[in-house]
Amino acid sequence: MKNKPKKSKIPWPTKKAMEQVYELNLWGNNTADFYSGFGSHNPEIVKPYVAIVKEFLTSFKNPLIVCDLGCGDFNTGKELVKYAEKYIGVDIVPELIAHHKKAFIAENLEFRCLDIAVDDLPVGDCALIRQVLQHLSNAEVESIANKLAAFKYVILTEHVPNENFTPNKDIISGQGIRLKKQSGLHLTKPPFNFKVKEEKELLSFNLDLGKGVIVTTLYEVF
């Protein structure tokens, strides 16, 4: 008997995929309207992240303009607003951004609904991009990496495998991440080759049972 030809997966537009993640609670659930997953809520993961980013942001005499790219449910971002000159939360999901405009109010805070792979990014000193690129295809990551070069600092958080792995295997954008292909994102490695003056690992949280590591890296950009 002949094997049926394998159907190739047709990628959904990223906006549709992310809207569906929130509609169907594909990253889990709590009582809030939007939930960005355990990486955004587990205190063991969130608290050290907030502490280290606070330490970085408050190390400057003149506070920085911070762009939180893919801000999600804002459980982490909301803790950092007070350490920025201006804090711009960006996400691709319009309902989430409309919600945040009403739910989180501060003089130095604004939200924008943008596709960071397609649209111009807001101008700022420091980009926070936390557990976002791990969900995106290499073509989208490449486009974003080109724009990240405009920031002085990029603080990137990625969920990667525990051991040595082949970085940057391509995926279809959506709920899942490269871990399912035993891969993880490394922005300074091919095909992205993100050019930086300095790269410093700020934090690494090892998940149980070999389920990977959540790594936060500070890049000082040329």
Q: Which of 53, 88, 116, 218 binds ligand SAM (CB under 6 A)?
A: 116
Binding flag, residue 158, ligand SAM (CB under 6 A):
no
Residues shown for the chain: 222
Binding flag, residue 126, ligand SAM (CB under 6 A):
no
Distance, in Å, from the CA atom of 218 to the CA atom of 202, rounded to the nearest integer, reads: 6
Query: If phi over 0 gives left and psi between -120 and 50 gives alpha, with beta otherwise, what is residue 70?
Result: left
Helix (H) or strand (E) holding 145: helix 138-148
For the CB of residue 2, give the shortest distance to ligand SAM in the complex, in Å.
Answer: 39
Burial-class residue 193 by CB neighbours within 10 Å (0-12, 13-18, 19+): exposed
Binding flag, residue 132, ligand SAM (CB under 6 A):
yes
Of the listed pieces 102-110, 124-132, 160-168, 183-191, which binds ligand SAM according to CB under 6 A? 124-132
Binding flag, residue 130, ligand SAM (CB under 6 A):
yes
Binding flag, residue 93, ligand SAM (CB under 6 A):
yes
Number of residues that bind ligand SAM (CB under 6 A): 22
Would you say 55 and 76 are in contact if contact means Cβ atoms under 8 Å apart?
no
Which residue has tokens 């990029």?
Answer: 154
Binding flag, residue 183, ligand SAM (CB under 6 A):
no
Q: Which of 92, 126, 160, 213 binds ligand SAM (CB under 6 A)?
A: 92
Q: What is the DSSP letter of 77?
A: G
Binding flag, residue 217, ligand SAM (CB under 6 A):
no
Of the listed pieces 65-73, 186-194, 199-207, 210-218, which binds ligand SAM according to CB under 6 A? 65-73
Handedness of CA 41, 182, 188, 120 (dihedral sign): negative
Helix (H) or strand (E) holding 147: helix 138-148
Binding flag, residue 138, ligand SAM (CB under 6 A):
no
Of the listed pieces 78-86, 111-119, 181-189, 192-200, which binds ligand SAM according to CB under 6 A? 111-119
- In angstroms, what is the C-alpha Rg of the chain? 17
Binding flag, residue 154, ligand SAM (CB under 6 A):
no
The DSSP bridge pattern shows strands 153-160 and 109-113 to be: unpaired
Nearer to ligand SAM, 93 or 196 (CB): 93
Q: Which residues bind ligand SAM (CB under 6 A)?
A: 14, 18, 36-37, 40, 70-72, 75-76, 90-93, 115-117, 130-132, 135-136
